[in-house]
């Protein structure tokens, strides 16, 4: 069947632009929790390695609760829909948790137990919000050309908002606290980020309201004979859906590295210690990030033309090449010259720009691939399970990427930071340079290679997805006959 004979479900562009702002809300909490290692040490008196271990255990907890939350979400229905109500619940739980964690109990009088309880409460809210928000692209459209464009906006927001948050926190607020990640500093940005997340979530509801209706979820989360979705469906899905397993291996490997090098202690090592000017390094990263957003548009067009699989593989190879060049460049120079020599500044900027752009293209393709898997599962099993697909992915993702904080803290502990954390004023030793470059550039290079190999067995090409959509259209036509 030709692609032009298929009638695809589409939404107006304005809905996509506003609806995807929920990514900005998620990023506010993501950036905030990236500094929780400093909070555990300074506000609760917990050793660096212990904090890393706690964060690892907590993310495993995150993965374990996802299947049960997914079943609950699939069964949750009201006359007003489900997306907005559940997102508000998730936002409320998470906001309460972080305000208590960063502002109320961070006075040094409460220890490891309180820290862990509040962090786990934050995870519950985060899981509810993320499972629901990740259902949105699959519910919005099944058009192979519009799906990448939806991911473009999600990707742009996922990169743009952390950049803006970093500017505000690092260049405006941090200097007011003597460039120290103190408890007072962390408490201040916590309140700011919670307010921003709430505002962005409410704005996103404007775009989500037209699709958040009960009729849009009828039959989407139940089997053909009307049975409710269960944890058994999730386990069967994981066992029988090979494209999902390969996709998960590829994405989770890459996200592990992303989780590591996004930790504040790693960016502090690279830009604060090695480059020698954390404000300059932050600005350089931001300036290189904004033009890279154009790459997301390029990546979406490439995916629309060649398919999401081909796009993911192509941009993964490009990212690997850029990471290798970045390591070589930084290894042979004194990185403090990046902030002092215009030639080194320009070269480093070009590498950051190219690397950020390629990563945006990968993120765009990966998001669209997950929506493809939702539709493939409908054809394979007869069930449309966006929440189950999201939660199953999150279950594996959280367990594996839970190692991110542990890898980062153990990495810095190996070079002497056992009872303290890297600060911008620390000396740039050879050990700091080796570990900083490995965790910031080397680890992503390794995980991209693993991801590329995993996708060799993934068969949902552009042509195969046309067949999938044709099969879905034919099946629904028979049911309505």
pTM of the model: 0.72
Q: How would residue 4 be classed by pLDDT, with cut points 50, 70 and 90?
A: very low
Rounded to whole angstroms, the Cα distance separating 225 from 231 reads 17
Provide the pLDDT for residue 287: 76
Q: What is the pLDDT of residues 14-56, one digit of tens each?
A: 998 999 999 999 999 988 988 888 888 888 888 877 887 787 7
Phi, psi (degrees; rounded to nearest 5) at 124: -60, -50
Provide the pLDDT for residue 417: 84
- Cβ atoms of 124 and 96 within 8 Å: the answer is no
Provide the pLDDT for residue 25: 94
The owner of tokens 């090592």 is 269
Phi, psi (degrees; rounded to nearest 5) at 222: -130, 155
Q: Which residue has the higher pLDDT, 13 or 75?
A: 13
Q: What is the pLDDT of residues 214-260, one digit of tens each?
A: 766 654 343 444 445 666 777 788 888 899 999 988 888 887 787 78
List Cβ neighbours of 254 (8 Å cut-off, separation of 6 or more). 362, 444, 447, 448, 451
Provide the pLDDT for residue 200: 96
- Cβ atoms of 56 and 402 within 8 Å: the answer is yes
Q: What would the mean pLDDT of 352-365 be, rounded to a whole number?
A: 86
Mean pLDDT of all residues in the chain? 84
Domain positions in the chain: 7-208+223-480
Q: How many CB atoms within 10 Å of residue 9?
A: 13
Q: Where are the alpha helices (DSSP H) in 3-47?
A: 13-19, 22-33, 36-44
Task: Please tell me what DSSP assigns to residue 228.
Answer: B
Of 6-15, 235-244, 286-295, the one with minimum mean pLDDT is 286-295
Res 455 pLDDT > 60:
yes
The owner of tokens 């799906």 is 147
Long-range interactions of 369-372: CB distance < 8 A, separation 24+: 369/247, 369/308, 369/309, 369/312, 369/460, 370/134, 370/137, 370/138, 370/247, 371/137, 371/138, 371/142, 371/147, 372/147, 372/308, 372/460, 372/465, 372/468
Label residue 450 exposed, middle or buried (CB < 10 Å: 0-12, 13-18, 19+).
middle
Which tokens belong to 410?
A: 């153990």
- Cβ atoms of 324 and 446 within 8 Å: the answer is no
Rounded to whole angstroms, the Cα distance separating 135 from 140 reads 9
For domain 7-208+223-480, which CATH number applies: 1.10.10.370, 3.40.190.80, 3.20.20.70, 1.20.1250.20?
Answer: 1.20.1250.20
The owner of tokens 């470059």 is 437
Provide the pLDDT for residue 110: 78
Label residue 153 exposed, middle or buried (CB < 10 Å: 0-12, 13-18, 19+).
buried
Beta bridge mates, 228 = 222
Query: Angle at which helices 308-332 and 430-437 pack, to 10 degrees?
Result: 170
Q: What would the mean pLDDT of 73-82 be, rounded to a whole number?
A: 80
Phi, psi (degrees; rounded to nearest 5) at 373: -65, -35
Q: What would the mean pLDDT of 283-297 be, rounded to a whole number?
A: 75
Provide the pLDDT for residue 279: 78
Res 115 pLDDT > 70:
yes
Provide the pLDDT for residue 218: 55
Q: What would the mean pLDDT of 164-172 be, rounded to a whole number?
A: 85
- Find, among 86, 98, 104, the residue nearest to 122 by Cα: 98
Which tokens belong to 142?
A: 């099944």
Which tokens belong to 297?
A: 């548009």
Provide the pLDDT for residue 133: 87
Region of residue 85 (phi > 0: left; psi between -120 and 50: alpha; otherwise: beta): alpha
Q: How many CB atoms within 10 Å of residue 214?
A: 12
């Amino acid at each position: 069947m030709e692609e032009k004979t298929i009638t695809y479900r589409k939404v107006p562009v304005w809905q996509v632009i506003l609806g995807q702002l929920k990514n900005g809300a998620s990023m506010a909490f993501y950036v905030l929790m990236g500094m929780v290692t400093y909070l555990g040490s300074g506000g609760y008196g917990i050793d660096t390695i212990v904090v890393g271990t706690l964060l690892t255990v907590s993310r495993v907890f995150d993965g374990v609760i996802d299947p049960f939350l997914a079943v609950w979400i699939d069964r949750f229905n009201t006359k007003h829909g489900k997306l907005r109500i559940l997102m508000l619940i998730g936002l409320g739980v998470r906001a309460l948790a972080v305000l208590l964690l960063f502002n109320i109990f961070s006075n040094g009088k409460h220890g490891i137990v309180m820290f862990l309880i509040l962090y786990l409460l934050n995870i519950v809210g985060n899981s509810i919000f993320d499972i629901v928000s990740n259902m949105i692209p699959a519910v919005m459209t099944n058009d192979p050309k519009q799906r990448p464009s939806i991911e473009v906006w999600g990707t742009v927001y996922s990169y743009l908002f952390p950049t803006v948050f970093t500017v505000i926190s690092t260049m405006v607020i941090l200097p007011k606290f003597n460039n120290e990640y103190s408890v007072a500093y962390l408490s201040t940005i916590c309140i700011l980020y919670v307010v921003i997340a709430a505002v962005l979530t409410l704005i996103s509801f404007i775009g989500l309201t037209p699709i958040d209706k009960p009729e849009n979820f009828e039959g989407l989360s139940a089997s053909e004979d009307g049975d409710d979705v269960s944890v058994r469906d999730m386990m069967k899905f994981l066992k029988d859906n090979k494209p999902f397993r390969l996709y998960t291996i590829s994405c989770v490997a890459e996200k592990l590295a992303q989780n590591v090098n996004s930790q504040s202690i790693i960016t502090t090592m690279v830009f604060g210690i090695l480059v020698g000017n954390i404000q300059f390094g932050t600005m350089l990263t931001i300036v290189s990030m904004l033009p890279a957003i154009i790459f997301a548009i390029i990546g979406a067009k490439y995916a629309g033309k060649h398919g999401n699989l081909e796009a993911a593989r192509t941009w993964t190879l490009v990212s690997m090449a850029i990471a290798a060049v970045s390591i070589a460049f930084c290894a042979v120079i004194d990185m403090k010259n990046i902030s002092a020599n215009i030639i080194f500044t320009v070269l480093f900027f070009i590498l950051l720009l190219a690397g950020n752009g390629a990563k945006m293209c990968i993120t765009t393709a990966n998001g669209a691939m997950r929506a493809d898997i939702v539709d493939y599962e409908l054809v394979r099993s007869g069930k449309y399970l966006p929440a189950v697909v999201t939660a199953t992915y999150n279950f594996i993702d959280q367990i594996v990427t839970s190692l991110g904080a542990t890898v980062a803290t153990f990495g810095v502990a190996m070079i002497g930071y056992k009872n303290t954390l890297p600060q911008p004023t620390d000396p740039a030793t050879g050990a700091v340079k080796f570990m900083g470059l490995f965790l910031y550039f080397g680890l992503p290079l390794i995980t991209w290679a693993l991801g590329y190999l995993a996708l060799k067995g993934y068969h949902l090409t552009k042509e195969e997805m046309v067949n999938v959509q044709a099969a879905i259209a034919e099946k629904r036509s028979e049911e309505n006959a």
